[in-house]
Structure 1
Amino acid sequence: MKDNAHTIPAGYSSIAPGHIASVVTCLEMREKPASAPVPLPEGFTLQPLTHHDPDAYRSLFRKVGADWLWFSRLMMSDETLISVLHSSSREIYCVHHNGQDVGLVELDFSEPGEAELAFLGLTQDVTGKGIGRAVMSAATELAWAKPVQRFWVHTCTFDHPSALGFYIRSGFTPYARRVEVQADPRLSGHLPLEAAPHVPLLSA
């Protein structure tokens, strides 16, 4: 994560109307875990993204991430998103099951010697079944198959409550904490008003 943030003072800080704020934890892995890879359950596969249609990608992105306020890709123009989807420094995969895409994995190799786990998520109907552990194992294998010295990820307080513990159990170590403030994507129409009910919706 590029460090372009400033330090906020101790105590309470007000958030502008119509905005949301989350606490972000950055984690890293400096060497490949020694444990054996965890295979995907029968019927699940991890397939490279072959379609680069921005609307189809946004549909999967919402399906996986709406409950956790994933919004960054939804605010991109078609041109910018297509550029991301075609980027040679990114590897994007779909978790496939029963003819449906039920998850998303994206690795970013744009920084030399580093791999960022930009996105990893599953749809609600396949969570809680141990599939996430296998998908993370596959992502880790893919990251360390490249000449990298560091694999990193960040999660925030909008994510699933178990996300931070999941990353730590997967071999990542927390190294930084930040606060991110953004316009609420539910108020802009990029996500439905009922998305992420655990994050109170405050009118602008």
Structure 2
Amino acid sequence: MTQTSASPALAPDGLTLIPATHVAAVVTSLEMHAPPDRPVAPLPLVRIDADLPRYRALYARVGAPWLWFSRARLGDAALGSILNHPDVEAYALDQDGTDVGLLELDWRVPGEAEIAFFGLVPEAVGRGTGRRLMAEAQARAWRRPIARLWVHTCTFDHPGAVAFYERSGFRAFARAVEVVPDPRLDGTLPRSAAPHVPLLADRAALTPR
């Protein structure tokens, strides 16, 4: 591909330029069609569907390091309409009085369930808690008459996320590219969130022309 003076920002073949005000991630979707055959140790999960402040606080603690933003951009009415749906359940994992994990299950599509949100606060990662929380998520999802359980992750998430889901019995079935306005530029997330994802707008402003 030949670049001209009229299009200095033209990307090479195979690349798509993203504005400095946006971020792009590769989203991988994974699924399973039968429940895993393994015992589940009970976990102290607490329903938090009706407690929006608690949900928002936990969502921020779990998700900000990985640039989770979709729930943060919803107002209370929109978020409440999701969490109060009879086919949506949101849980906090409580350890010694502190919320350290988030699990949200969604059965709104007949015959299937989605693990809509799943994660731990940073200080709880690497202790085996994630495996136990996933086993609990799968057990709860398959208590309803479903034929498929699925989950998605993206390249902003922990680099071991896809491998973790595969070890949990999921298999990848789809991949997509998501391009959205950077949530750190409009105040949805603090500018310090997800330092592994460069904040290009700030750098572009400092670049000499």
The two structures have a TM-score, normalised by structure 1, of 0.89
Preserved CA contact (<8 Å) 2:65 2:194: yes
Question: How far did residue 50 of structure 1 move?
Answer: 5.5
Q: 1:145 — aligned with what?
A: 143
Post-superposition CA distance 1:56-101 (Å, at most 9, x none): 3211110111000110000011110111121111011110011111
Task: State the identity %.
Answer: 49
Cα gap change, 1:90 to 1:50, in 2 (>3 Å): closer
Alignment partners' CA distance in 1, 2:148 and 2:98: 32
Q: 1:52 — aligned with what?
A: 51
Alignment partners' CA distance in 1, 2:19 and 2:197: 16
Q: 2:92 — aligned with what?
A: 94
Runs of 4+ in 1 over 2 A off after TM superposition: 50-53
Alignment partners' CA distance in 2, 1:36 and 1:106: 21
Q: 1:22 — aligned with what?
A: 25
Residue of 16, 31, 34 corresponding to 1:31 = 34
SS of residue matched to 1:138? helix
1:71 aligns with 2:74: no
Preserved CA contact (<8 Å) 1:185 1:191: yes
Residue of 159, 172, 175 corresponding to 2:173 = 175
Unmatched tracts of structure 1, length 5 or more: 1-9
Alignment partners' CA distance in 1, 2:51 and 2:84: 7
Unmatched tracts of structure 2, length 5 or more: 1-12, 203-209
Alignment partners' CA distance in 2, 1:147 and 1:51: 25
**Greater displacement, 44-53 / 72-81:** 44-53
- Counterpart amino acid of 1:27? L
Residue of 107, 121, 124 corresponding to 1:109 = 107
Query: What's the RMSD between the two structures over aligned residues?
Result: 1.4
Alignment partners' CA distance in 1, 2:16 and 2:182: 17
- Counterpart amino acid of 1:30? H
Question: How far did residue 165 of structure 1 move?
Answer: 0.4
Question: How far did residue 17 of structure 1 move?
Answer: 3.0
**Rg: which structure is higher?**
2
